[in-house]
Structure 1
């Protein structure tokens, strides 16, 4: 791309910021015109696809872990993450040269801050993508338990074979680099979420499973796991700057956030309630694993679940791919470099998925250690620094400070509990 200089800025490389703290109105107007071509509806689909999907399968397990009381915590986390989503937008409005999530950390705390944010975000998105493959292997092996694979005489277990097969199917979508095109794939992901929710409700109401489980009011030992999984359900913040810059009319981004968070919170809470009433404390880390496969509704839910990773994988890894490709700007054949980077990323996620096949515990760890950090703590700290509100004590500082504190508590406690669970299960499998 040809670089068109406008005074102290480089349009093609927005990280080259001149260092001025004040952006003039004319400069802001100019940067607002350097947006993408995604419409309001395109961005809504991408936002819904980033927020919904895999989380809806684990939300009944989260509620079963913490009890009915933890449902209140779901709404608190939903409200907190919506607020931090708005803070990300405010940071980008203060400095229109910000184009990605790591840019926010760089603008707030310099190169070190940008590096820390970039590493945290990319690890989170990478682990979420890995979780997609684990989910696929679990559900397909549940649907076809007796199917094994043989390659040149070598026996491959069903779950391993399905993970590899799904990775091959997903791979072409990872080569797409247009968010406008990805929005159509995202639309299928949103539709899949609605179908899964409807199918599971049908299984309980019509196919005889029923809603007879009462559950328990609160399980204090399971609260950390529940909170971690709730945080994982709202882990799309690293994608928000990409969605924001891809919009044709960026002034509508607040409406996009409100619509996406409202829709997802309603579907999450509804799925949590009906799943807990159906299976109680026996709810699996993915509710589809509880469903009897001889019912048509169960098969519809499981088969539709298989669509979700195909729809979400490319979108979630887009910021990571962009960060890696930026390191190889000097590559002569950029198309080939992009192809290799995306393919190698896919292969590596397959390896990790086969090494740590614990969906519930892995997603709980991602939710506590990474999602709580990137979706709660980092946006607040960066906003306080960029806006300068930390210099004066007021209501906004108190609110942001409380949100930061809650994010730190979730990260520390949830990470400890999740690591203990993973270590214990690694000992069992070995």
Structure 2
């Protein structure tokens, strides 16, 4: 059992391990200090679907394109990214319990406890850019996908109007469903939709193999590999919801196991569609794989499943953002009363969706994915949990192997952040200048 830095600075480096047991002694204090009631909460089953629904989504469809950018070596990066997402996710949740007798309630609170106000605001900026940026991408993908379907059957509805319709569908559950426990049912349907979408795209790709025999593949494209890393980082975005998912669990000590199975399920889905998509279409694969497979009723089903998923996943990301804002300003029933609390929550959440809809109407989704993934996800998923853990528990709380893993993780994420962001910004500037 490790202890926070300052309580036992002589902690042995061999004491460190990522297991659910490291949380058991501290879970009993989680009913104090964070404003979350741990009685009669959601199940591990619901937590699993929340995590899978948030992480797996639009990232699924752009992975074959990431492989085309980086080559087959991207497969190694994908596996590493999945492993490190689990590794740092466990570290993050353990950081919630670094203060004796109190459980922190959110990622920004971890930043505050680790590095003071500067840490809090750095986490806040990155944290909210992911929650809001991902939701913006989801609205863009949903509206744009339906627009393409409608155009194929000569329905002349403007692209921007489809974006607005998609935003309204996201707004409904987000505005009227209050907590993570309540949005778990959305996550179940979202995961089912993702699985159906993957199966359809993979089957259609395999059927199309005879028509794609001349496509080229690379073992490694070193110049574009950092950009591919940014897209891969985006594909594992979602750890900002972990504190709220863990808080909503009836048995929060099971979170690490739930996270492990969630990452394994996600990685399995990712490997399937990325390998098949890149093998079949090679360097010609489109940023969203469904644009590469033959257009027919099966493709339409896949696109509709994608739309269903992102419409259901966006409220989960946005609920994480809204809960933290509402808790920060004490927008509670106890303080405001039921009617006023509902009104304030409705105004806040409605304004959030309106603000996100504007960029979703005009910016390209593939560039949004690369920018959000490279700039924010790479840092907040892979770097900050490690440095916050070191700050709260001390570097000596880890053994040499764990420190080696941390070094590799930080190096990979930093490269993705720097080179991926530069590439994404450059592409976005060129697009806006047209």
**TM-score bucket of the superposed structures, by smaller chain:** 0.7 to 0.9
Matched, 1:312 2:313: yes
Say if 1:209 and 1:42 are closer, same or farther in 2 by CA, change over 3 A: farther
With CA pairs under 8 Å and 6+ residues apart, which has the higher RCO, 1 or 2? 2
Matched, 1:340 2:339: no
Residue 79 of structure 1 deviates from its aligned partner by 1.3
Equivalent in 223, 228, 244 of residue 242 of structure 1: 244
Could you list the per-position Cα deviations for residues 43-84 of structure 1 after superposition, in whole angstroms to 9, with x for gaps in the alignment?
A: 111011111111111111111111112111111111111110
Equivalent in 83, 88, 93 of residue 84 of structure 1: 88
Matched, 1:198 2:203: no
Three-state SS of the structure 1 residue aligned to 2:218 is: coil
Tell me the equivalent position of 1:370.
Answer: 376
How far apart, CA to CA, are the structure 2 residues paired with 1:99 and 1:93?
10
How far apart, CA to CA, are the structure 2 residues paired with 1:140 and 1:97?
43
How far apart, CA to CA, are the structure 1 residues paired with 2:155 and 2:63?
29
Tell me the equivalent position of 1:54.
Answer: 58
Residue 269 of structure 1 deviates from its aligned partner by 0.9
- The farther-off stretch of 159-168 and 205-214 is 205-214
Matched, 1:215 2:217: yes
Three-state SS of the structure 1 residue aligned to 2:57 is: coil
Three-state SS of the structure 2 residue aligned to 1:125 is: helix
Matched, 1:401 2:402: no
Tell me the equivalent position of 2:327.
Answer: 326
How far apart, CA to CA, are the structure 2 residues paired with 1:373 and 1:104?
15
Say if 1:244 and 1:391 are closer, same or farther in 2 by CA, change over 3 A: closer
- The farther-off stretch of 139-148 and 26-35 is 26-35
Tell me the equivalent position of 1:381.
Answer: 387
Q: Is the 8 A contact 1:373 1:411 kept in 2?
A: yes
Tell me the equivalent position of 1:5.
Answer: none
Equivalent in 77, 91, 94 of residue 73 of structure 1: 77
Which of structure 1's runs of 4+ aligned residues deviate more than 6 A?
Answer: none
How far apart, CA to CA, are the structure 1 residues paired with 2:84 and 2:276?
24
Equivalent in 271, 279, 287 of residue 285 of structure 1: 287
Q: Is the 8 A contact 2:216 2:283 kept in 1?
A: no
Equivalent in 38, 61, 65 of residue 42 of structure 2: 38
Return 5+ residue gaps in structure 1 as ranges: 1-19, 150-156
Could you list the per-position Cα deviations for residues 354-395 of structure 1 after superposition, in whole angstroms to 9, with x for gaps in the alignment?
A: 231x11111011111000011001101100001112699844
Equivalent in 101, 114, 121 of residue 115 of structure 1: 121
How far apart, CA to CA, are the structure 1 residues paired with 2:289 and 2:182?
31
Residue 210 of structure 1 deviates from its aligned partner by 5.7
How far apart, CA to CA, are the structure 1 residues paired with 2:210 and 2:372?
32
Say if 1:110 and 1:209 are closer, same or farther in 2 by CA, change over 3 A: farther
After TM superposition, the score normalised by the length of structure 2 is 0.86
Tell me the equivalent position of 2:432.
Answer: 426
Three-state SS of the structure 2 residue aligned to 1:144 is: helix
How far apart, CA to CA, are the structure 1 residues paired with 2:26 and 2:288?
49
Say if 1:30 and 1:297 are closer, same or farther in 2 by CA, change over 3 A: same
Count of aligned pairs: 398
Q: Is the 8 A contact 2:217 2:283 kept in 1?
A: yes
- The farther-off stretch of 305-314 and 110-119 is 110-119
Tell me the equivalent position of 2:164.
Answer: 164
Could you list the per-position Cα deviations for residues 268-306 of structure 1 after superposition, in whole angstroms to 9, with x for gaps in the alignment?
A: 01100111123222222111222333x221111011111
Say if 1:392 and 1:325 are closer, same or farther in 2 by CA, change over 3 A: closer
Q: Is the 8 A contact 2:206 2:280 kept in 1?
A: no
Q: Is the 8 A contact 1:211 1:277 kept in 2?
A: no
Say if 1:38 and 1:64 are closer, same or farther in 2 by CA, change over 3 A: same
Q: Is the 8 A contact 1:68 1:218 kept in 2?
A: yes
Three-state SS of the structure 1 residue aligned to 2:182 is: helix
Three-state SS of the structure 1 residue aligned to 2:237 is: coil
Q: Is the 8 A contact 2:95 2:389 kept in 1?
A: yes
Return 5+ residue gaps in structure 2 as ranges: 1-5, 9-23
Three-state SS of the structure 2 residue aligned to 1:306 is: helix
Say if 1:397 and 1:208 are closer, same or farther in 2 by CA, change over 3 A: closer
- The farther-off stretch of 75-84 and 375-384 is 75-84
Tell me the equivalent position of 2:156.
Answer: 148
